C-alpha cells in the first residue's frame, strides 16, 4: 500500500482518498475534464471514477507513460474547466537529464503548494534567514526552479533575487573534464563572484557543482557572511553538505528533493548529516518505494529498505499517477522534525539514480 496513513475522513476513506476522488471527478468530467485523462479512460475501456476510489486502487491505472509528457501539449493535462483562466498557470520543463524533457503546468495556488509552502514551513522551523538578499545561480526558463526562486525570496522578505543564469542543457553537452566545460563554469562563477562582491548577499541558492566552484573563489569573510544556503537541481550526498557547512559556517543549510513534475519535499532539520532525509508535508503528492517497477503492480518495500521511487501528483492542474522515477531511495518513517511540521507520510532517504544508470546520465551543472 502507498506510504500514507492519513486519518479517516467523514466522507469515507482517508483524507487523501477523498482528494483523489475529487481530482478524478474533475479530470474525467465529460465536458470539463482533461483531454489526456479522457483519452486514457477511453483506452482503458472502463470508468476510472467507478473503479479507482482509494489510493490503493491507483495500481489499476498501470504505469504512467512518461512519453505522454514529452509529446502531448501541456494544455491536454489541464481540465477544460480552467481553460478560461490559463493566465493563472505556471509552466515548466524537466532538465532532460535522462532524455527528451517533459513538460507540465501548475495553477498558481498549486504551484505555491508544490514548491513554495514546503520550503517556507521548514525555513521557519530551522531559522532560515529572512529579509536578506538572495543570489540564485542556476537556470531560468524553461526550468521551473527559476520561477520558484523569485517566490521564495519574496516570501522571505527579500528583494527580487539577484541571479546568474546558465543553460544546463548546453553544459551537459560539454564533455566532462573538457576545457569547454571548465570555461563555461568559470563564466558562471565569475558573474556570481561579482554579485557577491557588490551586494550584501545573505542567501545562496544553487546546485552543488556551482556552489563548490563559488566557495573556492569566495574569501573566508564572504563565506562567513552567508546566512542561508538552499540546494537544488541535483542529488546531494550527506558528506557534501557537511563539507559546505564547514565552508559556510554561519549558514542554515537546507536541501529539497523534487522535480518539475511533482514539486519539492524538504529536509526537516539542519545539522550534521548522516543521510539526506526528505519528507512530504501535505496530501497533494504521494510516494511509493517499490521493488521492481517492471512487475505490475510493483510491491512496496518495507521501512528501512531501498527501492525505486514512484510518485503520484494529485492536483487539479495536472493528475500524474504511477510515475516511476529514475531514482532509488530508502523508505524511512517520519522523523521527529517532520512530525512536528505535520508530516505523517514515510520519507525518502538518500534518493539518487542507481550506479549503473547514473553512469549513463548526462550530468553537468544541474
> What is the tens place of the pLDDT at every residue in 151-175?
999 999 999 999 999 888 888 888 8
- At residue 319, the pLDDT reads 98
Evaluate whether 313 touches 284 at the Cβ level (below 8 Å): yes
- Cα(111)–Cα(313) distance, integer angstroms: 12
The dihedral built from the CA positions of residue 269, 271, 277 and 278, taken in this order, carries a sign that is: positive
Chain centroid offset of residue 181 CA: 26
183: pLDDT strictly greater than 90: yes
- At residue 1, the pLDDT reads 40
204: pLDDT strictly greater than 50: yes
113: pLDDT strictly greater than 50: yes
Residue in the block written with cell 510515475: 323
- Cα(354)–Cα(298) distance, integer angstroms: 18
Residue in the block written with cell 496513513: 5
Residue in the block written with cell 542554515: 252
Give this prediction's pTM: 0.92
Evaluate whether 203 touches 211 at the Cβ level (below 8 Å): no
262: pLDDT strictly greater than 60: yes
* Residue 228 dihedral angles phi and psi, to the nearest 5°: -155, 140
DSSP 170-208: HHHHSPTT-HHHHHHHHHHHHHHHHHHHHS---EEEE-H
- Cα(77)–Cα(329) distance, integer angstroms: 28
Evaluate whether 168 touches 137 at the Cβ level (below 8 Å): no
Cell numbers linked to 322: 504511477
Q: Which residues pair with 79 in a beta bridge?
A: none
- At residue 9, the pLDDT reads 39
Amino acid at each position: 500500500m502507498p506510504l500514507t496513513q492519513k486519518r479517516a475522513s467523514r466522507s469515507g476513506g482517508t483524507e487523501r482518498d477523498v482528494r483523489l476522488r475529487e481530482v478524478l471527478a474533475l479530470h474525467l468530467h465529460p465536458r470539463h475534464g482533461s483531454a489526456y485523462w479522457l483519452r486514457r479512460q477511453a483506452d482503458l475501456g472502463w470508468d476510472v471514477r467507478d473503479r479507482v476510489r482509494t489510493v490503493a486502487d491507483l495500481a489499476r491505472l498501470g504505469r504512467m507513460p512518461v512519453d505522454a509528457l514529452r509529446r502531448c501539449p501541456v494544455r491536454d493535462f489541464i481540465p477544460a474547466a480552467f481553460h478560461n483562466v490559463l493566465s493563472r498557470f505556471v509552466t515548466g520543463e524537466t532538465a532532460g537529464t535522462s532524455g527528451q524533457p517533459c513538460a507540465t503546468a501548475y495553477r498558481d495556488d498549486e504551484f505555491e503548494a508544490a514548491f513554495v509552502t514546503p520550503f517556507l514551513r521548514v525555513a521557519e522551523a530551522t531559522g532560515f534567514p529572512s529579509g536578506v538578499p538572495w543570489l540564485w545561480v542556476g537556470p531560468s526558463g524553461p526550468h521551473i526552479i527559476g520561477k520558484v526562486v523569485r517566490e521564495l525570496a519574496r516570501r522571505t522578505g527579500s528583494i527580487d533575487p539577484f541571479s546568474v543564469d546558465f543553460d544546463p542543457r548546453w553544459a551537459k553537452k560539454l564533455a566532462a573534464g573538457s576545457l569547454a566545460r571548465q570555461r563555461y563554469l568559470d563564466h558562471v562563477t565569475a558573474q556570481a563572484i561579482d554579485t557577491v562582491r557588490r551586494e550584501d548577499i545573505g542567501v545562496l541558492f544553487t546546485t552543488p557543482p556551482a556552489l563548490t566552484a563559488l566557495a573556492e573563489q569566495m574569501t573566508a569573510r564572504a563565506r562567513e557572511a552567508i546566512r542561508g544556503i538552499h540546494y537544488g537541481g541535483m542529488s546531494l550526498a550527506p558528506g557534501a553538505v557537511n563539507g559546505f557547512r564547514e565552508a559556510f559556517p554561519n549558514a542554515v543549510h537546507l536541501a529539497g528533493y523534487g522535480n518539475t513534475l511533482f514539486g519539492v519535499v524538504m529536509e526537516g532539520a539542519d545539522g550534521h548529516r548522516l543521510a539526506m532525509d526528505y519528507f512530504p508535508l501535505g496530501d497533494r503528492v504521494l510516494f511509493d518505494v517499490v521493488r521492481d517497477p517492471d512487475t505490475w503492480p510493483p510491491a512496496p518495500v518495507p521501512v528501512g529498505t531501498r527501492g525505486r521511487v514512484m510518485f503520484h501528483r494529485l492536483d487539479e492542474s495536472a493528475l500524474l499517477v504511477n510515475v516511476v522515477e529514475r531514482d532509488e531511495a530508502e523508505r524511512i518513517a517520519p522523523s521527529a522534525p517532520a512530525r512536528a511540521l505535520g508530516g505523517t507520510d514515510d520519507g525518502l532517504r538518500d534518493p539518487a539514480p542507481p550506479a549503473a544508470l547514473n553512469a549513463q546520465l548526462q550530468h553537468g551543472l544541474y
